Structure 1
Amino acid sequence: MEYEALVDVYDRLAATDSNNEKRDALAEVFADAGDMLSRLVTLVRGRLSPAYDRTELGVSSSLTLSAILRATGAAESDVRERWKETGDLGDAAAWAVANGGQQTLFSEPLTVERVHDELRELATYEGTGSQDRKVDRLAGLLADADPDGARYVVRTALGHMRVGIGEGTIRDAIAVAFLDGSSASITAVERAFQVTTDYRVVAETARDEGRAGLDALDVQLFRPVKAMLAEKADALEDGVRDAQSDGRALCEYKYDGIRIQIHVDGDDVRLFTRRLEDVTEQFPDVVRALRAGVTVERVVLDGELVGYTPETVSSDQRTPTVFQEFSRRIKRESDVETLARNIPAVVHLFDCLALDRTLLDEPLVTRLDALESAFETVTPAPDEPRAGLERTRWRWTSTDDLESAEALYREALDAGHEGIVIKNPDAAYQPGRRVGRLLKLKPTMEPLDLVVSRAKYSEGRRSEQLGRLYLACYDPEHDTFREVGRLSTGYTDEELRTLTDRLEPLVTAREGRDVELEYELVFEVEYEEIQASTEYGSGYALRFPRFLGFRDDLAPADADTLDRVTALYDGQ
């Protein structure tokens, strides 16, 4: 398939704001894709991998700029000026191809397969000279592209397509292309994606095997499932009433840690975060605990990974490490054993997703029985280092007797945790959903996880630091971000320096002291209230937002959604 044909599709998608028109355009492309289908269902979102594959291409804006200059011969000042005007390096690449003046004597046709495969190959370049090799490979693609093609090659390399395609549009397009497009078929496609996190598999299965094939898709070891998420309960009694079944509900500690999904196949153990990132190498102490404690051959478990102080982790009175300190372990690539000793962990298990067979559609009580049969408690041993492994603290309760739930809630807060989670004992596991049968209760208005969209350098003694930050929530239907306010307080000088160091590589355009940023860095933010506002694209503004810390365990698309902000606003 010629890349020019896909570029035409990108242009059609960018030219309309109608979700239905986008869906129909994609459905037409998918239906005619043939053996290109698996590549197209990822490429239309500017991605080269399924959701669970977090392989980084290692392509920065500066490296991409070098490739543009090498391919086109355009003056760097001119390209930077175009980049600054539009805030889109893809637009700058299109301009450079059209105006750079450099001619390619021998060009190779630009096909969808070539663009996909050569960009994927960039992730394999390592060691001395790897950056220059990446520039050469990317420049080769740009040299063979027309202006419009160059625009989308660059956007794909950087992961920012700007054509308004979210997961919901892909889902609906598959249902229209290969099924009957009904709400039932859309539900079947969504369920298939939630258990596979791979639209390539979903699309090909829908095409080749129809609805029956989708229904047969199941949890697979080492292919993580999207986590089931909780809604916020307004009050303890309300939460228990809404979640209970047959007169009872399950209450568990709500820990402030890293959501972790555990896949075990004999001695092969893998750990995945909520953003589906494989963090096995960063937690060798957890792997040791699982090898010691898991008593079955194959299992998929759900839990929370929590850090504790070394002097208390082996005691009954543990002191949790603040999340921002513990989350350092996610990004650590060297000396991980030392960090495991300094910030020891305990895995608190609370669900079992598969044991010999999938358990997603089974009630919670059945999954808990499976959980109890799948492991034995492991005491943490930070000197080895070996993490702890145990069931999360829990208690049955009902609206007729809330004392047990109140006691657990106070106990959790006194122990330094966030609160409790209230669960319906008959509820199935619904991947990727916030559901009313899973509720969380916390003592304050819930913080939001938001993406930094743009920034401005501070004034006075902090004038060299990016301290005025614009925050955005995620709009999944349009695969874009909507700003909800500006943050300028809550961080120390050291945090501000760290913040600036992490933001400056993400700058895509500058105008005086203002900078545009790639949507990459996620913050946890508290605030006083949410107000209606015409100043920001979301329609809302946070009043007195305050920085709480980095959320390195979350991808930008895992940030709180526009629907979540709306619900919080409505519930104030």
Structure 2
Amino acid sequence: MYSSTKTPLFGNFCALLQSISDQRGTQEKKKRLAKYIYDWRFNYGDDFYEAMRLLLPHLDRSRYGIKETMLAKAYTDALRLGKTSTDAYNLLKWKLPSTSKYTKSSGDFAAVAFEAISSRSTITTSTQSIHDVNVLLDDMSRSKSEEKRKHDLFKHIVEQYTPFEQKWMIRIILKDLKIGMSENSVFDVYHPQARELFSVCSNLEKVCKDLRDPHTSIAKSTIQLFEPFKPQLGHKEVPKDVRKVLFDGHFYIEDKIDGERIQMHFEKSTGKFRWFSRKSTDYTHLYGDSPQSSKLTGIIADCFEAESLILDGEMIGYDPKLDVFLPFGSLKTTAKDETLDPHKSRPCFIVFDMVYCNGFQMSKYTLADRLKVLNSVVKEKRGYLNLLPREEKSTFQDIVHALDRAISLRKEGLVIKNPGSTYEPGARNPTWIKLKPEYIDSLHDNCDLIVIGAKYGTGRRGNRLAQFLCALRDDRIPDNENPKFLTFTMLGTGYTVDELDEFGKILENLQPYNAKNQPSWLVHPEKSDEVPDVIVHYAKSVVVEVKATEIVWGNMFGSGSTLRFPRFMRFRKDKSWSDIMTYSEMVAAKRSGTIGGQVRASASQHDFLDHKHKRAKTAGVRSKKSYSLLASQRGIDTKDIERRSKLFEDMTFYVVTGGNGHTKNGLEEKIQENGGTFVQTEITAQYVIAGNKSITVNSIIYHKNRDIILPQWIIDCDEKQDMVPLAPKYMLFATNKSEQLFRVKMDQWGDMYTQDTTEQTLGEVLSQIKVDISDVQKMRDLCEEIQERYFKEPLPGMIFQRVNAYLDLPTSDDDMNQLCYLKLRDKLWLVSMQIQFYGGTVVDDIKPGITHVVMDKERLEKLLPLTRSFLG
């Protein structure tokens, strides 16, 4: 199938990988690799690229699009395993402990597959070369979407490669060799300058070609236009000594952006753009390759006053309606939208550095100088291309104040930079310091959760529970019913090996998790990405104390929220499932910005200096923690409120949220002034008040047994000092019982049968009449009926009311240059807006009912084909 060239046998290469994996200590691993490279050069020449691709598969640009699940299915077919056989099950559930006494591996897919292959393979001798493997992998990369071709490839692998070779080939395909040797160690063995060169080119082939002779050196590596490089990264160490980032007594403070690190390459003479990620992935297809593109480049191409540029920054989603940046997960969705609608969410490139300009490498200049050039040659186009603002400060307290401000505004964090620093590709040094709230221990809060599920680990954690699905209690369920638990977070860090073993001892009676057949007490999304391997009944589980920085949105969990940076603190064997955090507490905590019920303190210099990256061992006995109601649950202080009426006497209210300019506290004050009582739960309240829907409100609506009344009812009752009858206009949600009552007293629009209509009430009734405007033809017929019935003369501004126009828009198949195309499209777009503004409709395809065809006078040659289209 494949022809060999002069490269060693792949079996010998696999033996090298096994030897390196078995060897302890980086230096010994390096010695074994150095000997292999020496032998290669002696026997096969200086071109080591074919082996380097397999040695560092995660740096190879080939994309196979294959993960463990797909490999399991491919091998099940190639080995002709029964779908219900033990080996097929072990392949698909490779993380779980094996169900067979003959199978020992778990947690390592390649090892599990090796055992399944070994018992069936008849191939015992290595015959395929390293070149053969690379040809096969290139073929696999090209066949990502061709299922039959993939099937043939894996059939060939099974028939030509030994089980030992297949184990290592699987690891290469998964881009994780598990040999305990980093890319920097491999580069150091290959050539002293390999690491430096790769940091500025991100190209394995170029590294192997330019440095093929180990005894020669090349000129200092430089960043090249249209060649991706490894960007400089922020140091994660908290600055105990601010002098490290000082330059002439100052440093820069920038906001850390929660986007994707992107570098933009641009050449004006050719109009060429290229976009690369931090890992050198080419994203040009997402953001555009020329000024004529319908992507981001088509909008920002006129922002650059330089012949060539390489900009470093963050790409992030931006919502122009709200004028806010969107969460990281929304970036790819916004980037794929090609509608060019200026009001829809879109990608925004936030630039914070320049490393190349007009043929000159800027990395050797100071940051202050680079920023001066950046500001002189790049023009900001807000919402599309932003220049990241920064503050120039000089003291440690300035950093503390800036972090406090970032925390209060829910920002990602800060980056502290030395203005005198040069740009070092691939480096992570103290001249750039990344500072996040989670780095500071006092900015974390704790909560108690129950473990209801777990995942088995991989690698060293194989065959043991390693991640734990934690849940909170749903307190919306009445006490006389069986409890329910909402999944909340997946816990994977913070515990020691001994604590991990204790989890295994505590969690007994584990049951396999089936997303389509969940127990009645568990609420977890069926299609969640966070899928436990096993679950445990809440009554037989354990409560854990978890530390985290904040509560964030998370639709992969049953609670609709999750913890940011959760970390295990300790077992709480003194607590049961009834003592854990509840749904209501979680919602209130999320709203108030705390987790465990305490107000978060501001950061201080002491917090920085006491920070430790690793969790210190804690004493067995801890100080008792005092708890109190969250601020959002307490309501207002009523001791100074004077009662002025008995309007709401003997009435109990739960104000969830305010609305229409009235705050929750303001509404509670009015209730108290009028003799009413307010509580902080719907369970004991007679009336539930909410101005808009929220998680809490939606949870109440879900049960469909409580009316939810708008705040305006409280306001109107207070102003009139009378109990205004409830009506649909006051309801955010009405139960079936209330709706039936309304139908007895009023019509479907809220017009009371027993009360005279006033000008105000008529307006209110009319505002309740909802008209479906999505049916365009129905709306047109209605307008015509109204006009004929009530108006003798044509309505002003509706001159095109009976017009149904087809616009002859240009297509990509038309023979015209881009400029003419854009001008004609814009001209006809304006005509379309005018027709619709004056009451007409515009259609985009030829169909019955068209009354007019609009075309440009320069395109009269299209008249005859259009006429034929209408004639059929």
Same-fold status (TM-score > 0.5): yes
Aligned letter for 2:221?
L
Equivalent residue in structure 1 for 2:207, among 192, 202, 211? 202
What CA deviation, in whole Å up to 9, does each residue of 1:405-435 have, x standing for no partner? 7886677667653443222122111222321
The 8 Å contact of residues 395 and 408 in structure 1, kept in 2 or not, is answered as: no
Q: Does 1:425 align with 2:411?
A: no
Structure-2 change in CA distance of 1:103 and 1:32 (3 Å): closer
Specify the alignment match of 1:526 in structure 2.
565
SS of the equivalent of 1:250 reads strand
SS of the equivalent of 1:141 reads helix
TM-score between the two structures when normalised by the length of structure 2: 0.47
What CA deviation, in whole Å up to 9, does each residue of 1:299-331 have, x standing for no partner? 111112333332243xxxxx333x2xx432236
1:190-339 equivalences under 5 Å are 190-208=195-213, 210=215, 212-213=217-218, 215-232=219-236, 234=238, 240-266=242-268, 267-283=271-287, 285-313=295-323, 319-321=324-326, 323=327, 326-330=328-332, 335=337, 337=339
What CA deviation, in whole Å up to 9, does each residue of 1:462-510 have, x standing for no partner? 999896453599xxxxxxxxx9999xxxxxxxx9638x64356xx9xx6
TM-score between the two structures when normalised by the length of structure 1: 0.69
The 8 Å contact of residues 221 and 263 in structure 1, kept in 2 or not, is answered as: yes
The 8 Å contact of residues 73 and 101 in structure 1, kept in 2 or not, is answered as: no
SS of the equivalent of 1:221 reads coil
SS of the equivalent of 2:492 reads strand
Q: Give the unaligned 5+ runs of structure 2.
A: 1-7, 99-103, 289-294, 442-456, 459-465, 474-482, 504-522, 537-555, 557-561, 571-585, 591-610, 618-872
Higher relative contact order (CA 8 A, sep 6+): 1
CA positional deviation for 1:22: 1.3
CA distance in 1, matches of 2:164, 2:126: 17
CA distance in 2, matches of 1:407, 1:466: 32
The 8 Å contact of residues 123 and 162 in structure 2, kept in 1 or not, is answered as: no
Structure-2 change in CA distance of 1:340 and 1:30 (3 Å): farther
SS of the equivalent of 2:213 reads helix
The 8 Å contact of residues 72 and 102 in structure 1, kept in 2 or not, is answered as: no
Structure-2 change in CA distance of 1:205 and 1:339 (3 Å): farther
Specify the alignment match of 2:119 in structure 1.
99
RMSD over aligned CA atoms reads: 4.4
CA distance in 2, matches of 1:144, 1:331: 42
SS of the equivalent of 2:211 reads helix
1:347-426 equivalences under 5 Å are 347-355=349-357, 356-380=359-383, 387=384, 389-399=385-395, 417-426=411-420
Aligned letter for 1:86?
S
CA positional deviation for 1:527: 4.5
Aligned letter for 1:225?
F
Structure-2 change in CA distance of 1:93 and 1:330 (3 Å): same
The 8 Å contact of residues 94 and 149 in structure 1, kept in 2 or not, is answered as: no
Structure-2 change in CA distance of 1:485 and 1:361 (3 Å): farther
Structure-2 change in CA distance of 1:529 and 1:221 (3 Å): farther
Specify the alignment match of 2:525 in structure 1.
497
Specify the alignment match of 1:560 in structure 2.
none
Aligned letter for 2:55?
V
The 8 Å contact of residues 57 and 172 in structure 2, kept in 1 or not, is answered as: yes
1:41-120 equivalences under 5 Å are 41-47=52-58, 50=60, 53=61, 55-73=62-80, 77-80=85-88, 81=90, 83=94, 84=98, 85-87=104-106, 88-100=108-120, 109-120=127-138
Q: Could you tell which deviates more after superposition, 258-267 or 143-152?
A: 258-267
The 8 Å contact of residues 263 and 310 in structure 2, kept in 1 or not, is answered as: yes
Q: Does 1:145 align with 2:161?
A: yes
Structure-2 change in CA distance of 1:406 and 1:190 (3 Å): same
Structure-2 change in CA distance of 1:28 and 1:432 (3 Å): same
The structure that is helix-richer by fraction is 1
Larger Rg: 2
CA distance in 2, matches of 1:168, 1:329: 31
Structure-2 change in CA distance of 1:408 and 1:246 (3 Å): same
SS of the equivalent of 1:439 reads strand
SS of the equivalent of 1:308 reads strand
Aligned letter for 1:201?
K
CA distance in 1, matches of 2:390, 2:360: 26
Aligned letter for 1:117?
V
The 8 Å contact of residues 66 and 135 in structure 1, kept in 2 or not, is answered as: no
SS of the equivalent of 1:396 reads strand
SS of the equivalent of 1:305 reads strand
The structure that is strand-richer by fraction is 1
SS of the equivalent of 1:378 reads coil
CA positional deviation for 1:224: 1.9
SS of the equivalent of 2:235 reads strand
CA positional deviation for 1:74: 5.2
Q: Does 1:37 align with 2:33?
A: no
Structure-2 change in CA distance of 1:424 and 1:467 (3 Å): closer
Overall identity of the aligned pairs, in %: 20
In the alignment of these two chains, the number of paired residues is: 471
Q: Give the unaligned 5+ runs of structure 1.
A: 176-184, 314-318, 381-386, 474-482, 487-494, 514-520, 532-545, 549-565
CA positional deviation for 1:115: 1.0
Q: Does 1:568 align with 2:613?
A: yes
